[in-house]
Structure 1
Amino acid sequence: MESHELLQKLNRLESLIIGTSKQILNVDDVVNYTGFSKSYVYKLVHKNILPYSKPNNRTLFFTKKEIDEWLLQNKSKSISQIEQEAINYTNSTKK
């Protein structure tokens, strides 16, 4: 691995470690946290898909909690979860 690639990976790790303790994120933090490209984050903001704040019409800010919630929306259940729900439903209707 080239030293340039190694430096990039170390910088990303450092950003992730520092970013995990932050509750308010900027665009660069969101890029590091999610792995999305900066242009994709701006696209999501432009389309009002990603929740954000923009005080004084300048810098974009995001809350880590809202980013986490957004990332986990539209969750798909596993087969075992669906089977367990079916069993629970069947058992509750037998009474």
Structure 2
Amino acid sequence: MESNAIIQKLTQLEKLIIGTNKQIFTVDDVVNYTGFSKSYVYKLVHTNILPYSKPNNRTLFFTKTEIDEWLLQNKSKSVSQLKQEAVIYTNKKV
């Protein structure tokens, strides 16, 4: 039982390592890369939230850079970053 869990984890790691070297992702690659479920990826595609290409009107493709950009959008700043911006802003006013 324990060896099956180890093999499963190794398989996941292998997919993740191989996937991070790719520039063009399939739906399965996006699932492995992000940890999202396949149905959630399809929902994001259906609602045009996640950028994708569909060159043959059948297969979905994603670029790694667009996935990364999409994952990092709406970034929230830390308290220290906000304080630093406040200091810079107040120094400019003087």
Shared fold (TM-score, shorter chain, > 0.5): yes
CA distance in 1, matches of 2:24, 2:45: 16
How many residues were matched structurally?
Answer: 94
CA distance in 2, matches of 1:53, 1:4: 36
Instruction: Report the equivalent of 1:2.
Output: 2
Counterpart of 1:92, as a letter, is: K
Instruction: Within 5 Å, give how 1:24-43 maps onto structure 2.
Output: 24-43=24-43
Instruction: Within 5 Å, give how 1:1-95 maps onto structure 2.
Output: 2-94=2-94
Q: Taking every aligned residue pair, what percent have the same amino acid on both sides?
A: 79
Query: 4+ residue stretches of structure 1 with deviation over 4 A?
Result: none
Alpha-carbon distance, 1:3 to partner: 2.0
Alpha-carbon distance, 1:4 to partner: 2.0
The Cα RMSD (Å) is 1.0
